[in-house]
Amino acid sequence: MIKEFFVSLLHYFVDITTAVIIAAAVYLTFSGQQVGNAILWQILFSGFITALPTAVLLCFDPKSGRISAILWGLHFLLIFLITVMLLKMFGWCRITPLSVSLTFVAVVFIYVFTCSVHYLVARKHTAWMNQQLKKRYSDDEQIKKEKP
Amino acid sequence: MRIIIESPQPNDEDVVIVRCASPDQRLISMLLSFQNAKTELTGYLDDKIVRLKYYDVYYFEANENRVFAYCHSDVYEVKYKLYELEELFNPLDFLRCSKSMIVNMEKIEYLSPLFSGKLEAHLKNGEKVLISRQYVRSLKAKLGIEEVE
């Protein structure tokens, strides 16, 4: 369980940090803003602090789909609030309705990016598992068919 | 070591022959676990008592301190705890897939991923069972994809 937690934390930290760097690169290119090297540490810190609730959430195993959806919804809100807090803390921009809206769009982008990466990796693994299942049980069925 | 599986002649009994210079501990424990592996259990449905064969069970589910065996269309109560069933059927292709479920891998038609990181197992009777993230590793190990630690 503890190992699972740290593995999830590391995976999400890498994915979120990558997505934040992409979002920052796009924003800085279009705004023409110059930033110092402190931004790199701030991005790493924000990647870690937002990966943390994700790794905690994945430790829960709700039975019902409804509870699972509620937990993911709350998780999204928490990530959004943390990001707004980080904006204020690091002074990345002033808190205005426009900056909050843009942050919302950025969080949606990072969320979709991270979920898609994980989904695509899982899909690849699942295809492999399906292949193994087919191989294993088609052999068994063949033996059963040969038996009278 | 080579493993050879041959189909017997019609009406012949299934037999396991081990040909080796000297059986080691690993081989003996493997043969004992094969011989002792439970393949039947008693199921209760209303006032009926039925002998259930392991290969008829699609999955076991624990619900409010009771454990049920789900077959193709019938559901039987079994007088075992889920962890006991997990131990009993571990040598067979049964897999713990969540805190309250054990699924028969042989009954899985195919798997599909979900956005939450879980897997959905589509069973041969049309039912769907969720495989929690923490048990995906055991599934991979059983399928020979990931090494068991």
pLDDT of B116 over the 80 cut? no
Alpha-carbon gap, residue A49 to A15, rounded angstroms: 13
pLDDT of A144 over the 60 cut? no
Its ipTM equals 0.73
Which residues have a Cβ under 8 Å from the Cβ of B111 and sit 6 or more positions away? A126, A129, A130, A133, B119, B120, B121, B122, B131
Residue B115 three-state SS: coil
pLDDT of B25 over the 60 cut? yes
Half-sphere exposure of A148 (CA within 13 A, CB side): 6
Closest to B36 in 3D by CA, of B28, B46, B24, B44: B28
Alpha-carbon distances of A88 from A50, A76, B68, rounded to whole Å: 15, 19, 54
Looking at domain B25-142, what is its CATH homologous superfamily?
LytTr DNA-binding domain (2.40.50.1020)
Q: Are residues A119 and B115, on separate chains, in Cβ contact within 8 Å?
A: yes
Decide: pTM greater than 0.80.
no
Task: Compare CB distances from A129 to B7, B10, B140 and report the shortest one's residue.
Answer: B140
What the block records as the tokens of B15 is: 């037999």
Q: If you measure CA to CA, which chain B residue comes closest to A140?
A: B106
Conformational region of residue B11, where left means phi above 0, alpha means psi within -120 to 50, and beta covers everything else:
left
What would the pLDDT profile of A68-108 be if each residue is shown by its tens digit? 888 888 888 998 998 888 888 888 777 888 888 888 888 88
Q: Are residues B113 and A1, on separate chains, in Cβ contact within 8 Å?
A: no
Q: If you measure CA to CA, which chain B residue comes closest to A64?
A: B130
B89 or A4, greater pLDDT: B89
Q: What are the boundaries of each domain within chain B?
A: 25-142
Q: Are residues A133 and B7, on separate chains, in Cβ contact within 8 Å?
A: no
pLDDT of B78 over the 90 cut? yes
Task: Compare CB distances from A129 to B5, B133, B139 and report the shortest one's residue.
Answer: B139
pLDDT of B147 over the 70 cut? no
Residue B67 has what pLDDT? 94
Q: Which residue has the tokens 């994915």?
A: A15
Are the C-beta atoms of A88 and A95 separated by less than 8 Å?
yes
Residue A142 has what pLDDT? 57
Residue A146 has what pLDDT? 54
Alpha-carbon gap, residue A44 to A147, rounded angstroms: 61
Alpha-carbon distances of B94 from A22, B21, B57, rounded to whole Å: 44, 33, 10
Task: Compare CB distances from A137 to B106, B119, B134 and report the shortest one's residue.
Answer: B106
Q: Are residues B117 and A122, on separate chains, in Cβ contact within 8 Å?
A: yes
Are the C-beta atoms of B140 and A7 separated by less than 8 Å?
no
Residues of chain A found within 8 Å of residue B115, distances taken between Cβ atoms: 115, 118-119
